[in-house]
Chains A and B, each alone.
Chain A
Amino acid sequence: MNLYEFEGKQLFITHGIVTPCSVVVRRGDDVTTAYASLGVVDVVVKAQVLSGKRGKNNGIRFCATLEEVQSAVDDLFSLQIRDQYVAAVLIEEKLQIAREHYLSITYNTTTKQPMVVYSTKGGMDIEEVEENEIRKTNIEILNPSVPVDIPYVQELWKCFFSEDARVVEINPLIQTADGRFIAADAKVALDDDAFYRHPQWEQYEPRTMLGRLPTEREIEAKKIDEGEAYYRGTAGKYIELDGDIAMILNGGGASIANMDALIQAGLSPANYTEYSGNPPREKVYQLAKVVLSKPGIKGLWMCGNVANFTNVKETFLGIIDALDEIKPTYPIVVRRDGPESAEGFALLEECAQRNHLNIKMFKKDVGMSETAGVLAQMIQS
């Protein structure tokens, strides 16, 4: 989960990193009170979005009067920044900047250990800084030795490790005219797989990077994998897209290949969804209900590889429960194989007959991509 700047800064403060005085404003909040609460004249007004490059995309405004602040807040709430929904606006004291540094910690996939990246050339154009002006330090997680000569690196390491982050970044890390260091921005990505040891993460509001608020269906689907049995199979992945082909895919890998395959077949996905890891019938049922609830669907593609350990019968029963309720009239193509697939397909066949479904079913003798073409033909005819 990616955090908004103001959420990241709250974590920074917990770990002893100084951030500017600030106040968070939501849609409809009273800007006058918020601005007055800071007790300063010159402020920076910043859109709260999940992607970077705000500065270059008109997401940061400098203001010196209440009128300017009010108009900046109104304007930012009316915009999308790099296609991202503006969830809130942060009003912050303007700093007296002497220098801008860059500091981050993330996992290096070559060493498979955390890595500190630091440069004294921070700010908006960090991507263009020369390699020799960037200092990279690997941290041995078994016996962490964190550089001592980089401002806030100890604090940031504590934040990274104890908060189970995948990325923490301060850019710019400001050095003020009087020599103090202040984190002027915060980019934090938390490790979703560690949520069980951070119950406080539940307070974070729902979010998506798709340039809008999460849809009702996305919020509904996410709940499927929450709770005690969160690791017993994955069935909570639903990203709503613009197309009209409902997708119920299987496997993290195959599902990605099959999204490509559907588009190559000239069709357009209504969603990205996959279930895998042998989820129980109930989870699959809930997921199928979410996927099939989208209006305007012209076809359903349920496509999965030959399963290793996901029980095809058990998971198909979840799908069948949903089909029995919804009784779709649009074409359906199914391709799947694996444990108890003969039983699973027999049950699906019975479901198709009692609900008069327009359905074609394939096992492993037909390739996955090929069946996307079959669906395209069924829709045309």
Chain B
Amino acid sequence: MSILISQNTKVLVQGMTGKEGAKGAKAMSDYGTSVLCGVTPGKGGQEVDGKPVYNSVGEAMTVFPDINTSVIYVPPFAAKAAILEAIENNISLINVFVERIPIADTAYCLAAAKEKGIRILGPSSLGCVVPGVARLGVMGGPQVQEIFTPGSIGVISRSGGMSNELSWQLTKQGLGQSTTVHVGGDLLMGTTYADLLRLFEADEQTKAVMIYGEHGGSYEFEIVDLIQNKEYTKPLAIYIGGKFVSAFPEGMNIGHAGAIVERGKGAAEKEAALHSVGVRIAQRYEDLVTLVQ
């Protein structure tokens, strides 16, 4: 089994005629994911990599009513309209690749998605990989076959690059991944660690989970509540990056937008709270692979 995506995932690519969109569509198809079509307003009738492009999501849905996932590659100023269009058309999983979306637009889209029970993965998310089955987005790049192998460890990362690094380390150790998910680095996350841990708890293939976290935000504290309520019971190891950042003044923004140094929510406070409910804390991200075994 897996979480988020499966053989039944049918993908629409919004912004497929752009450079990154075309790359994303090809990356998914090459890995065996079913990409049905694309949408770019004003470019209906074109083809990208043999897949038809439509002017609107509604038009695409009429031709391909099976679409259940949209991956969005548009410039940040067009992101809100694109996400809302996917929501209006009831696409149940929306992976937002777009970086640098204004936070107010993100908050608006997340609220609109929540009203309809639609899951948004992102913004700024490179997607996810279920090894040997499917991938959303470009995670793994051209080396995806080398980096990912089917296995029993769930991987959650705030960082796209670290999703790859950690999966690669698991593969080197012969452990493999059940699903690797990049939640994105923005302050507001459509799908949180806690959301994914609930899914991993229900997934039989997953025996343990590792998380690459960052300072800033309160998402790690949701994990503490989840474990206390016994909604997540499998082994969990976490690394929280950004110890050097504590030398910077409050409110200074480096790395991802979400990693704003907030008083009382720094790496040290998060580690203490997580440790108290039995989560294994990695001092170096390389230690996650050992801790999760």
Contact = CB atoms under 8 A, between A and B. Distances in A.
Interface in B171-224: 185, 187-189, 212, 214, 217-219, 222
- Taking residues whose C-beta sits less than 8 angstroms from the other chain, chain B's interface range is 35 or more
Interface of B: 20, 23, 27, 75-77, 99-104, 106-108, 110-112, 115, 126, 138-143, 147, 157-165, 168-169, 185, 187-189, 212, 214, 217-219, 222, 239, 241-245, 248-257, 259, 284-286
Nearest to B242: A256
Nearest to A364: B168
A201 interface: no
Contacts of A121: none
Interface stretch (A35-43, A300-308, A347-355): A300-308
A98 interface: no
Contacts of B212: 253
Nearest to B112: A142
Given A252-B255, A253-B212, A257-B241, A193 B102 contact: yes
Interface of A: 2, 50-52, 82-84, 107, 109-110, 112-114, 140-142, 161, 164, 166, 189, 191-194, 196-197, 209-211, 230-231, 234, 237, 239, 250-257, 259-261, 263-264, 272, 274, 276-278, 304-309, 337-340, 364, 367-369
B244 A256 contact: yes
Nearest to B222: A110
B134 to A, nearest CB: 16
B145 to A, nearest CB: 13
Given A141-B107, A193-B76, A307-B141, A256 B241 contact: yes
A308 B140 contact: yes
Given A112-B189, A164-B104, A252-B256, 16 more contacts: A110-B218, A141-B108, A141-B111, A193-B103, A209-B249, A255-B255, A256-B214, A259-B245, A260-B284, A278-B20, A306-B141, A308-B164, A337-B143, A339-B142, A364-B165, A369-B285
A42 to B, nearest CB: 32
Contacts, number: 182
Contacts of B101: 193
B161 A250 contact: yes
Nearest to A187: B251
A240 to B, nearest CB: 13
Contact of A164 (B77, B102, B163, B188): B102
B161 A305 contact: yes
A196 B78 CA distance: 12
Give chain A's interface secondary structure class: mixed
Contact of B161 (A83, A239, A276): A276
Nearest to B104: A164
B104 A191 contact: yes
A22 B239 CA distance: 48
A112 B107 CA distance: 6
24 contacts: A2-B251, A109-B218, A109-B219, A110-B222, A112-B111, A141-B107, A142-B108, A142-B112, A161-B104, A196-B77, A234-B99, A250-B161, A253-B159, A253-B185, A253-B214, A254-B165, A256-B254, A305-B159, A307-B161, A308-B126, A308-B140, A338-B143, A364-B165, A364-B168
